[in-house]
Structure 1
Amino acid sequence: MSAGGVSVSLVDPQLADAAAALVEKLVGDGVASALARQDATLWGPDAQSEASRRLSWVSLHESSRPLVDRLTALRGDLHAEGVDRVVLAGMGGSSLAPEVICHTRSGSAVGGEHPITVLDTTDPGQVSDALAGDLSRTVLVVSSKSGGTVETDSQRRTFAQVFAANGIDAASRMVVVTDPGTKLEELAGNLGYRATIEADPDVGGRYSALTAFGLVPSALAGVDVGALLGEAAAAAPALAADSADNPAVLLGAALAAAHNAGAEKVVLADSGSGLIGFGDWAEQLIAESTGKQGLGLLPVVVENPDAPGFVDHGSDATVVTIGPAVGNAQIAAEGTLGGQFLLWETAVALAGRLIGINPFDQPDVESAKQATRDLLAEADSGSAPSKDEAPVLVDGSVEVRGGPWLGSPGTLAEAIQTLVNAAPDHGYVAVQAYLDRLDDASAIVLRAEVAARTGLQTTFGWGPRFLHSTGQYHKGGHQNGVFLQITGSVADDLAIPDQPFTFGQLQHAQAAGDAQVLTDHGRPVLRVHLADRAAGLVALANAVTEVTR
């Protein structure tokens, strides 16, 4: 159905029939209008406390309006000083929305000409590349809801030091976005940072696209964020209607109907929408909102509608195009960027009610963070070795580690085959690359190769970025995944000012910590370390071609 600049089509008649009863239930219970009124009781008594402070996103198209003039003025002041390069230090909800906003409005994705540098990594090479840009023209947006995100704080410390070393007043080049009352807000005030912009505390990170987290970096990069809010405002009345024509009701009901019938994976492909990177934003929204209590929807972002996982999907997956329905798409969602943000936020919240989970908490995200902190503390105190156990296999430039399930593989290909064999029917493979997503971009091809060779739905995530996204689903969702974790040697590590660890050590601890938590959940994790990144990625790609299912 099309309304307010957004539309949803249920192309598959069988899925449409399955969704019809849930559509009727949502409409009969008045759920869409209740959500628009921020009714925190919609997800049951156990979720009410959390929901009561997480629903302001439904009216951001109105409440965020006062930011527009302020951000326009701030950008003008910076430009008057010759500062027009925007670097964003942020993770998860603090980076995914600004990236899709800026790339969509500029018409260019990562690797092309675009108005923002998104730094959502601990890879020393990628951080160094961002530091190598023209600092005389650079403003750093430091974006953290909690105010204590370790990656973001590490990037802030490093830029401050390098600004000063180049004779630049660091405080004048720092713009902070955070919730009211955080330590980051206090720090920014004490150090006299250029601007501190408070975000709405009653919006969770993955629903924050139209808060200061999405708007500040985008506006400083030249995006007309007023127009973006206008797109959401145009869609809002239709998405709040208790009607079978409500696109969000249709989408939420279809996703829940598919999940409840065993299709717990949602394969997302762009079909010419022009919304560059939208699938990566939707990935976090869907995975963190629904992946808990052994339930949920696993988003699988694929390269295009002809990609493995989409054209050959099985009964465990629903295939969705962002843009017009093409090929064998079962659902198509179209519309403006602002409208699509609000459409998917509303639909996922409705799907959460129908699946029976609280879409606003993320109970399993903290476990990997705590494991990282523990490893860093142990290494710093000297109470534990800082290096991994010996690999079970060294194949050329690739070191292989795994648990007892791995046995004694003779080659890298055999190790990957053993991992794939450990996946249950209708399971999935998660490829997790703790690498430089610019210099090591070729790693992305592994997703399609694994999916094509195994017939299993396969996801790809850059670490530690995915820890703030699909990481919740990996621990809290359906426990049928196997994990291929890739790390790489660090040629030139980068110190973090006033911290006892480097970026390389932090990256390593994040990988090891997440692997430990997944192992504790009983999931097979194959850890592949590339002593030589370039050669190792070639060897890994070649090994995958030998895998079957």
Structure 2
Amino acid sequence: MTANATTVANPLQALATLHQSPWLDFIRRSFVLDGTLAKLVREGDIRGVTSNPAIFQKAMGEGTEYDAQMRDVLSTSILSPGALYEKLAVTDIQAAAAALAPVYEDSKGRDGFVSLEVSPYLARDTHGTTHEAARLWADVARPNLMVKIPATPQGVPAIRQSIAAGINVNVTLIFSLAAYRDVVEAWLCGLEELKAKGGDISRVASVASFFVSRIDAKIDAEIDRRIKAGDKQAPALAALRGKVAIANAKMAYVYWQEIMQTPRWKALEAAGAQTQRLLWASTGTKDKAYSDVLYVDSLIGPQTVNTLPPATMDAFRDHGRVHETLTTGVNDARTVMDQAEQLGLNLEGVTATLLDEGVRSFADAFDALLGSVAAKQATLMGEKLTSLKAHLPDELAKAVDSGMEDWRHAGTLRRIWAKDATVWTGGPEANWLNWLDVVDERRANLAELEAFQAEVKARGFRQVLLMGMGGSSLGPEVLAMTFGKHEGFGHLYVLDSTDPQQVAAFEKKIDPHHALFIVASKSGSTLEPNIMLAYFQDLAKRALKDRAASHFVAITDPGSKLEAHAKQEGFWKIFSGDPKIGGRYSVLSNFGLVPAAASGIPLRLFIDDALRGVRLCDASVPPAINPGVRLGIIMGVAAKQFGRDKLSIIATPQIMDFGAWLEQLVAESTGKLGRGIIPIDDETLGGPRRYGQDRLFIYLRLATEHRHEQDEAIATLIDAGHPVVTITLHSKRQIAQEFFRWEMATAVAGAILGIDPFDQPDVEASKVETRKLTEAYEKTGALPPETPFAQCGPLAFFADAANAAALKGAGSDAAAVLKAHFDRVKPGDYVGLLAYIERNRDTLEWIQHTRLHVRDAKTVATAAEFGPRFLHSTGQAYKGGPNTGVFLQITADDARDLPVPGSNYTFGVVKAAQARGDFDVLAERGRRALRVHIRGSLKDGLAALAKALHAAL
């Protein structure tokens, strides 16, 4: 033992004689609450505590000690797992700060600190780090807190700004002397800024955490590799094992000593500033060949801190040697550094790598921590949350797991929440992402909607008629079909058709004297809601005279033509949409919530359920347990890598209308650039042999519905090896959670497919063609003439030149034409039945029977759609998605027609123009399409078509 070495009963306590402070790198709630921390402090073993994500993960991810606080918090707040973790962590940090307060007071603010780390996700984000440091400082609100900020190039400016704001900072992840110099400069600048603005610099403490053992782990591994490879410098290399990290630390201390002698520091010291102490971090020995207290024994010196993991602390207490080692052997340390450079050990490269690895390691630990919190949160919330269970074939399951790990590693979800368009194509996507925030925004402004709901009830409306298309109608339709009529409120009807028979049917259900009319259009210039408004506003004016406007409500984006019209007409209410939310993502905005309010849905309960969905899809929830991301990756990977691009939606009866909304969201978002996912809604389940290898099944299951036959059919599909995702809702109101889950999932799937999920170029193309035809009618009084290429009884067949040529030779027999058309169906294709006829019970039964006949005959997916509503929904995918669709468009003579007030054309003309415009774009995109027009009785024509189809198939 050297002459200046000291052996005492407790070496930890003896470190104080050499002005070094031992801090413990550990925190746990039980460790604080049971008095263990206070005892260590009282006995002088430790003088501070540090925490990091890995430490919290072990504490929060194991056992039940945090369950009580979690339950208490979750009973009154709807939080993301990230926010929940912070509440738990802040509680622990505050308790530890209280235990360390005597040290802080006795040392006059020099010791007695507890450290809490800013999110490791912000390590490369200066602004984010600065903002979070200030927020954590305010939330913990304890003078002996230190906020941990990493010494990345982006973190250094945040260190300066935080010091200048009077925040105590523990700078972490310092590996190199160059990085340490930058940290010292930031510290000095921060103090100078605080002093210049009159702040108290005497109460601002800082440590610079210089990492030690990780350097030896890297350098020694390289030494061992080169020796094993027969390097001729093996003896010199071997002599450096276990020495470089300590030499590097000693050089940092030499630099600190030099700084302490500068006039710059002397001026700050005279004004009361504390020194920024070097703190030795990563002091647990990783190589068993070395002493377990090597990085404590070798780095003892004045004005420093050593932060020890529990095992190292216990080892040093047992057999540590207390003597000043930091200021001895400095020349030897310089020699080690010189030799390391001469031998090409590339310390600069090693420390750069260690910084990157440290950032990644802390982020990985934070992922694990938040994953543990999210899993525990889901368990505690139980049936307040919907659940997802995936049964996937092994190869698909492995690919999905790989995809989730890629997303976790890249932090892609955090980029979505940061509204980073490069997640998708780097185009205008960032302009369409306010759906991420709209639930919070609407909840904060719920009083407006609740007041409207109360007024609606007070006025006693017996019917509510919503007029809209696509995203403006399909969400409200889900609400109407799922929740039905509420006591004291009118029945919510949703009209999204230009079919004159359907418009007339809705007219019969409405008494203008007792009806509330809601017209919903984001752009305010969409053809269909405008002509519906014209018709029913005319109806109301004839019945109500000058009181008509008081029965009308508009939902539209600010500055639209509809807004101007509503103001001019004096509508009762005008609700604004958000221009940065697309129609199909708008159900949780006013476009869904205003109809919800008008129909009597309990708004706060509904929006709170939606908020639960938002929180569990938050950026803080790792992909593997994030409900939206997990589903989106399953969808995207299944479609892109395995050709399972037919998303078959099965739902129990009480929530089955959700599929119609979901169809639009998925199809219109993903179907473009020749790629996409084709949703197949309401296709009655068959046996496993009815399906090819292109399906992914989604089973939406309301737990309170006992649908044993559906459960059994799904189980049969799983047993046969088909991929099935089962989503269980415990109440109908949880449909609100599913709205957001599917919005997130669709955005994620779009990223995997490499498309912009927020545009709809081919929907616009159909609108253009329709506009051309209606303008032609306005000028001439007739649509352009057309001639069928075949006619059989009431059935007339039309096609463009390319499709007609493909069907040439089929003759004029209806069955033969249909056979020729459906003979073009290949494995992996789907068939779309696109019916521009009234949507009622009879036609729904007809189209369902027909689609199942086609499915069973061809073993392909079938879509059964009614026009024109599908134009604003699945129509985008049919035209812009993969060219795997074979389409039969069905049109018919109208039994009656209705005028559009203020226009030359009628509803029937508009519908005909939409059908022809739709067909023209299908043909232009090279789709296999055939149109059959029914002349005369629709009932007889559908029977004749069904007979011909049966014969053809």
After superposition, the Cα gap between the structure-2 partners of 1:103 and 1:365, relative to the gap in structure 1 and judged at 3 Å, is same
The 8 Å contact of residues 488 and 533 in structure 1, kept in 2 or not, is answered as yes
TM-score w.r.t. length of structure 1: 0.93
Residue in 2 that maps onto 1:258: 638
Residue 86 (str. 1) matches residue 464 (str. 2) = yes
The CA distance in 2 between the partners of 1:25 and 1:388, in whole Å, is: 56
Q: 324, 330, 355: which one pairs with 2:753?
A: 355
Q: 375, 397, 401: which one pairs with 2:794?
A: 397
The CA distance in 1 between the partners of 2:429 and 2:599, in whole Å, is: 32
Post-superposition offset of 1:311? 6.3
- The secondary structure found in structure 2 opposite 1:432 is strand
Residue in 2 that maps onto 1:52: 430
Greater CA drift, 75-84 or 165-174: 75-84
Output the amino acid matched with 1:418. A
The CA distance in 1 between the partners of 2:544 and 2:437, in whole Å, is: 43
After superposition, the Cα gap between the structure-2 partners of 1:393 and 1:547, relative to the gap in structure 1 and judged at 3 Å, is same
After superposition, the Cα gap between the structure-2 partners of 1:307 and 1:279, relative to the gap in structure 1 and judged at 3 Å, is farther
Matched pairs, number: 537
After superposition, the Cα gap between the structure-2 partners of 1:31 and 1:334, relative to the gap in structure 1 and judged at 3 Å, is farther
Give CA deviations for 1:461-511 in whole Å, capped at 9, x if unaligned: 110100000111111110121111111211221000111210000000000
Residue in 2 that maps onto 1:23: 404
The 8 Å contact of residues 290 and 359 in structure 1, kept in 2 or not, is answered as yes
Output the amino acid matched with 1:269. I
The CA distance in 1 between the partners of 2:528 and 2:563, in whole Å, is: 17
Q: 880, 884, 887: which one pairs with 1:480?
A: 884
After superposition, the Cα gap between the structure-2 partners of 1:444 and 1:224, relative to the gap in structure 1 and judged at 3 Å, is farther
Give CA deviations for 1:329-383 in whole Å, capped at 9, x if unaligned: 5212233211111111111111111111111111211111110111111222229
- The secondary structure found in structure 2 opposite 1:527 is strand
Post-superposition offset of 1:524? 2.3
The CA distance in 1 between the partners of 2:952 and 2:875, in whole Å, is: 25
The CA distance in 1 between the partners of 2:604 and 2:851, in whole Å, is: 37
Give 1:496-511 correspondences, 5 Å limit: 496-511=900-915
Unaligned runs of 5+ in 1: none
Output the amino acid matched with 1:369. K
Post-superposition offset of 1:117? 1.1
Residue in 1 that maps onto 2:506: 130
Post-superposition offset of 1:118? 0.8
- The secondary structure found in structure 2 opposite 1:41 is helix
Post-superposition offset of 1:301? 0.8
Residue in 1 that maps onto 2:875: 471
Q: 554, 568, 585: which one pairs with 1:190?
A: 568
Post-superposition offset of 1:425? 3.1
Greater CA drift, 33-42 or 448-457: 33-42
Residue 536 (str. 1) matches residue 941 (str. 2) = yes
- The secondary structure found in structure 1 opposite 2:579 is coil
Q: 519, 522, 527: which one pairs with 1:142?
A: 519
- The secondary structure found in structure 2 opposite 1:80 is helix
Give 1:337-416 correspondences, 5 Å limit: 337-382=735-780, 386=783, 388-402=785-799, 403-407=804-808, 408-416=810-818
- The secondary structure found in structure 2 opposite 1:314 is coil
The CA distance in 2 between the partners of 1:421 and 1:536, in whole Å, is: 23
The CA distance in 1 between the partners of 2:453 and 2:615, in whole Å, is: 32
The 8 Å contact of residues 313 and 319 in structure 1, kept in 2 or not, is answered as no
The CA distance in 2 between the partners of 1:353 and 1:71, in whole Å, is: 34
Greater CA drift, 71-80 or 451-460: 71-80
The 8 Å contact of residues 268 and 301 in structure 1, kept in 2 or not, is answered as yes
Output the amino acid matched with 2:503. V
Higher relative CO (CA 8 A, sep ≥ 6), structure 1 or 2? Answer: 1
Post-superposition offset of 1:107? 8.6
The CA distance in 2 between the partners of 1:242 and 1:415, in whole Å, is: 53
The CA distance in 2 between the partners of 1:163 and 1:184, in whole Å, is: 18
Greater CA drift, 36-45 or 530-539: 36-45
Q: 463, 466, 491: which one pairs with 1:115?
A: 491
Structure with bigger helix share is: 2
- The secondary structure found in structure 1 opposite 2:672 is coil
The 8 Å contact of residues 249 and 347 in structure 1, kept in 2 or not, is answered as yes
Residue in 1 that maps onto 2:666: 286
Greater CA drift, 278-287 or 62-71: 62-71
Larger Rg: 2
Residue in 1 that maps onto 2:117: none
The CA distance in 1 between the partners of 2:529 and 2:661, in whole Å, is: 19
The CA distance in 1 between the partners of 2:694 and 2:393, in whole Å, is: 17
Greater CA drift, 125-134 or 499-508: 125-134
The CA distance in 1 between the partners of 2:481 and 2:689, in whole Å, is: 27
TM-score w.r.t. length of structure 2: 0.54
Residue in 2 that maps onto 1:11: 391
Give 1:61-460 correspondences, 5 Å limit: 61-66=439-444, 68-106=446-484, 115-132=491-508, 133-168=510-545, 169-240=547-618, 241-260=621-640, 261-271=642-652, 274-304=654-684, 306-307=685-686, 312-323=690-701, 326-327=714-715, 328=717, 330-335=724-729, 336-382=734-780, 386=783, 388-402=785-799, 403-407=804-808, 408-438=810-840, 440-445=843-848, 446-460=850-864
The 8 Å contact of residues 93 and 206 in structure 1, kept in 2 or not, is answered as yes
The CA distance in 2 between the partners of 1:382 and 1:372, in whole Å, is: 15
- The secondary structure found in structure 1 opposite 2:575 is strand
Post-superposition offset of 1:10? 1.5
Q: 440, 462, 476: which one pairs with 2:866?
A: 462
After superposition, the Cα gap between the structure-2 partners of 1:86 and 1:66, relative to the gap in structure 1 and judged at 3 Å, is farther
Output the amino acid matched with 1:201. P
- The secondary structure found in structure 1 opposite 2:554 is strand
Output the amino acid matched with 1:544. L
The CA distance in 1 between the partners of 2:449 and 2:697, in whole Å, is: 38
Output the amino acid matched with 1:60. V
Residue in 1 that maps onto 2:423: 42
User: What RMSD, in angstroms, separates the aligned Cα atoms of the two structures?
Assistant: 2.2
The CA distance in 1 between the partners of 2:616 and 2:659, in whole Å, is: 23
Output the amino acid matched with 1:291. G
- The secondary structure found in structure 1 opposite 2:475 is helix
- The secondary structure found in structure 1 opposite 2:760 is coil
The CA distance in 2 between the partners of 1:303 and 1:68, in whole Å, is: 38
Unaligned runs of 5+ in 2: 1-373, 379-383, 703-710, 719-723
Residue in 2 that maps onto 1:516: 920
Greater CA drift, 80-89 or 438-447: 438-447
The CA distance in 1 between the partners of 2:891 and 2:425, in whole Å, is: 42
The CA distance in 1 between the partners of 2:834 and 2:435, in whole Å, is: 30
The 8 Å contact of residues 289 and 359 in structure 1, kept in 2 or not, is answered as yes
Output the amino acid matched with 1:138. A
Using the aligned pairs only, state the percent identity: 35
Give CA deviations for 1:235-288 in whole Å, capped at 9, x if unaligned: 22221212412222221111111112211211111146x323111111111111
Post-superposition offset of 1:230? 0.7
The 8 Å contact of residues 453 and 547 in structure 1, kept in 2 or not, is answered as no
Greater CA drift, 537-546 or 202-211: 537-546
